[in-house]
Amino acid sequence: MDAWVRFMAPLVPQTAGALMRAIDQRLAQGATHLHLMISCPGGSVFHGLSLHNFLKGMGVTVSTYNFGSVDSIGVVIFCAGAHRYCVPNARFHIHGVKLGFNGQIQVDEKALEEHIKLMKTDYTNIARVIAATTGKEEKAIVKAMNNQTSLMPEQAREYGLVHEIRSQLVPAQAGMTVIYEDGSSFTYGPAPVQQDFAAVTPVTAVQPGMTGAVAETFTGTAFGYTGSLDSAS
């Protein structure tokens, strides 16, 4: 069963949690092929690497789609796709890991050294993911990260990030779970199959015990409706 999820948000705890819930729900419903549409400016390295590892190891086929911009740690999530697509006007941006502190946080030398070690570990893990995806050497990816590399679709395909560039990504009848920037989500089902009224077959029969009454029963798939209308002659 195919399942579609659209993620258009920065990767922060709220949005990452919403994405994980959406994936878990789809898996619980029996999904065997997850289609993940991404437009993400980046965000939490912790959540990005965790999502990548989860998507790679959950035992179902994963396809990823860049429908806008996939930057920073968003590239790592995109790399989880066994099949990777993007639209003609998409963009990718690869850069290094930054060490940031909120407010007036103070750290001593030992704590700062520990933060730098963790940052270097994240740097290495991101480079390994992109290298394994593209088939390039890890040193080349580190250089691209240091140079803050941006890739247009054709460049991304040559780079090995993208398999195919195409405009239409989602089948017309597909349902989808949508993750918004505030961490909220919305799920809509497949569009109902509708047929012309010509597909409806009328059946006329005299109902037992109803002298002169005619039951007109309409049975068919038009608008998913089956019903009956009684009229007296």
**How would residue 232 be classed by pLDDT, with cut points 50, 70 and 90?**
very low
Q: Is 230 helix (H, G, I), strand (E, B) or coil?
A: strand
What is the percent of the chain where pLDDT is above 70?
A: 77
Contact, 57 vs 28, CB < 8 A? no
pLDDT recorded at residue 140: 95
- What are the tens digits of pLDDT across the range 55-111? 999 999 999 999 999 999 999 999 999 999 999 999 999 998 776 666 666 667 777
- CA distances for 47 relative to 39, 43, 98, 191, 201, angstroms: 16, 8, 15, 33, 55
- What are the tens digits of pLDDT across the range 162-209? 999 999 988 888 889 999 999 999 998 875 444 443 444 444 444 455
pLDDT recorded at residue 55: 96
The DSSP secondary structure of 75-106, one letter per residue, reads HHHHTT-SEEEE-TT-EEEE--------TT--
pLDDT recorded at residue 100: 63
pLDDT recorded at residue 112: 73
pTM score: 0.78
Is the pLDDT score of 146 beyond 50?
Answer: yes
Tell me the catalytic residues: 72, 95
DSSP E strands in 60-212: the ranges are 61-71, 83-86, 91-94, 149-151, 164-165, 176-179, 185-188, 201-206
**Which residues lie across from 150 on neighbouring strands?**
93
